[in-house]
Amino acid sequence: MPQGRLDNRVREARERVGVSQSELARRLGVSRQALVAIEAGRQVPSTVLGLRIARALRTSVEEVFLLQGGEGIGVRVAPPSAELARGSAGRRVALGEVDGGWVAHRLPADATLAADGVLESEGSNWTGLVRPLSEEHRLRRNVLVAGCAPLLGALARRIRDQSPDARATWLDTGSGRSLELLRAGLVHVAGVHGGGSPSGEDNATLGRQALQGRKVVLVNLTSWRLGIVVPAGNPLRIRSGGDLFRPGLEVARREAGTGAQKLVQSLAAAEGVEGANLLGPLATGHDEVAQLVRCGAADAGVAIEAVALAAGLGFVPLVEERFDLLVPASLADETPVCRLIETLDDPAFRADAGEIPGYDTASCGHATTLEAA
């Protein structure tokens, strides 16, 4: 039986409790260079030192030292979104290596995306063991991209089709959760829209806040119009944002932290509506807002124009804004992430995306480096 190799999550556990390398090394009675070698996997600690490291980080040995080999890959498991927590997410996962550590994201039970692995076991503090369904060197090429823009699906497919040294997995999440995942080191890229900024300055502010003390690369994917999706013909004559707060109107809602929800909140403030709790089903993304309106489960919902056009629905525009991708500068030069950024600037991708109604790709691929806040 192969012995496998010892992987560790010492750095992640140390950062989680807010201890510097120098301070942890002092507590352990070892040199900082020795701790650096352990975190990088170049040195295997003794049993006694391993126990002391776990105790200093207020965790268990099993959660910071994982045996990799025939049994599977030791991973950090991304906490599920509120939607997955309510639903029935299975053991199928998407995998990626972020900052030298493996990360697993549970796929929705109804996802048609091919899984990268199967979650065999879970520990506390969101750790686990995954049985990979592909070779590790292939999985290392995967870029995990979180965001709500359906266009990210087309981007991921183009990267998979054209890049022999990169692939991408789109994780459909709202802006707030995308930023949380990026801040926690659980994705390579986060897509955001700030709820009404055509200049993208709101997105830049979100990036600086999310990665305080780190440089961030902001790359544009598209510009779009955000507004109210209504049935074809607009039978209820919804003309403005204030109409969303009519008594009895069933409005598809979005979770807190999304660009759509931020816009609803600003509309409520402008209308002087206090405690504006919309009545209607919760949608997990722009596409689902359109589907809820089309099937009659909701009278209206805030989403992007593109999904309304694709579903043959009416649309009341409210704001024009940018959708940008945020990438930590420390990851931007890694080959798979670099390929994603290059694809955004590919004329063929821009031409393809520009033919989809509702998307403006004039600034697609335009990158700006945001200095550390």
What's the pLDDT tens digit per position in 29-63?
999 999 998 988 788 888 889 899 988 988 877 67
- For the entire predicted model, the pTM comes to 0.78
Per-residue confidence (pLDDT) for residue 3, from 0 to 100: 46
Q: Does domain 5-68 have CATH number 3.30.43.10?
A: no
CATH 3.40.190.290 in the chain, residues? Answer: 141-373
Task: Return the CATH fold of 141-373.
Answer: D-Maltodextrin-Binding Protein; domain 2 (3.40.190)
Q: Which residues belong to CATH 1.10.260.40 in the chain?
A: 5-68
How far is Cα 292 from Cα 69, in angstroms, rounded to an integer? 45
Helices and strands (DSSP H and E) totals, the chain = 16, 15
Q: What is the DSSP letter of 268?
A: H
The number of angstroms, rounded, from the C-alpha of 322 to the middle of its chain's C-alpha atoms is: 17
Encode pLDDT of 258-272 as tens digits: 989 989 988 988 888
> Would you say residue 83 has pLDDT above 70?
no
Residue whose entry in the numeric block shows the structure tokens 């798979």: 336
Cβ atoms 150, 287 nearer than 8 A: yes
Q: Which residue has the tokens 């990026």?
A: 182
The packing angle between helices 151-162 and 335-344, to 10°, is 120
